[in-house]
């Protein structure tokens, strides 16, 4: 079974208390491609005094599996699920390459690393200046910085603003799709979203 871990760290300067979000184990696949997914609401107040956002995905990749995280705003209907029309962006691994699909999901930007199987780690960091301006994201495959060809991040797009997201949806597909748990802890020192 593929081991998948997704970590997002939101550094918070002040928060009165810790908030924990637990999502039951990802359901058993209902489709032949082994697709499993889970939605989670992000706790209110999680971005108070936000200065940095860090997303880290680590898992055993193959040229045929898919692991992705979608961030967005659950709007109408407010049903606790993040559908395509509510998605600000999707980022992850698909068939041997990292990909990012911005709001609208009509564009797809991809980066194929030299090694396409084995343990892979994607890190995305977004920092905020002391004046409150969000800086362009820094993306790494393992320790190697890369960019998604054709992706415009200047001026900073609002779909990439962590303060606007209310929900997270995690999806895994393929023969080795994980049936994992999602846990998020938002504490005074920061927040961590993990899938294991």
Q: Are 59 and 178 in contact (CB under 8 A)?
A: yes
Per the structure, the count of domains in the chain is 1
- Greater confidence (159 vs 65) lies with 159
**Domain extent for 136:** 4-195
Determine the pLDDT at residue 101.
Answer: 96
For the cut 70, the answer to whether the pLDDT of residue 19 exceeds it is no
Determine the pLDDT at residue 6.
Answer: 42
pTM for this one?
0.79
Q: What is the DSSP letter of 85?
A: G
pLDDT tens digits along 48-63: 666 777 777 777 788 8
pLDDT tens digits along 100-155: 999 989 999 999 998 887 888 888 888 888 787 888 999 999 999 999 999 999 89
* The residue to which tokens 């900073």 are assigned: 156
> How sure is the predictor about 69, in pLDDT bands with cuts at 50, 70 and 90?
confident
In angstroms, the CA 196 to CA 53 distance is: 20
Instruction: Identify the CATH number of the domain in which residue 61 sits.
Output: 2.60.120
Angle at 134 between CA 141 and CA 54, to 5 degrees: 35
In angstroms, the CA 32 to CA 6 distance is: 24
């Amino acid at each position: 079974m593929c081991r998948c871990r997704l970590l997002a760290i939101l550094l918070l300067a002040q928060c009165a208390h810790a908030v924990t979000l637990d999502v039951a184990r990802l359901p058993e696949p209902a489709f032949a491609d082994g697709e499993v997914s889970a939605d989670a609401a992000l706790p209110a107040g999680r971005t108070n005094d936000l200065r940095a956002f860090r997303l880290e995905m680590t898992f055993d990749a193959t040229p045929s599996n898919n692991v992705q995280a979608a961030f967005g705003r659950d709007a109408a209907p407010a049903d606790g699920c993040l559908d395509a029309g509510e998605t600000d962006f999707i980022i992850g691994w698909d068939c041997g390459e990292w990909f990012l699909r911005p709001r609208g999901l009509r564009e797809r930007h991809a980066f194929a690393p030299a090694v396409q199987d084995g343990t892979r780690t994607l890190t995305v960091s977004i920092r905020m200046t002391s004046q409150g301006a969000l800086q362009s994201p820094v993306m790494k495959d393992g320790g190697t910085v890369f960019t998604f060809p054709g992706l415009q991040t200047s001026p900073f797009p609002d779909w990439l603003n962590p303060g606007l997201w209310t929900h997270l949806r995690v999806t895994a597909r393929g023969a080795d799709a994980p049936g994992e748990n999602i846990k998020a802890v938002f504490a005074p020192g920061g927040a961590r979203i993990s899938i294991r």
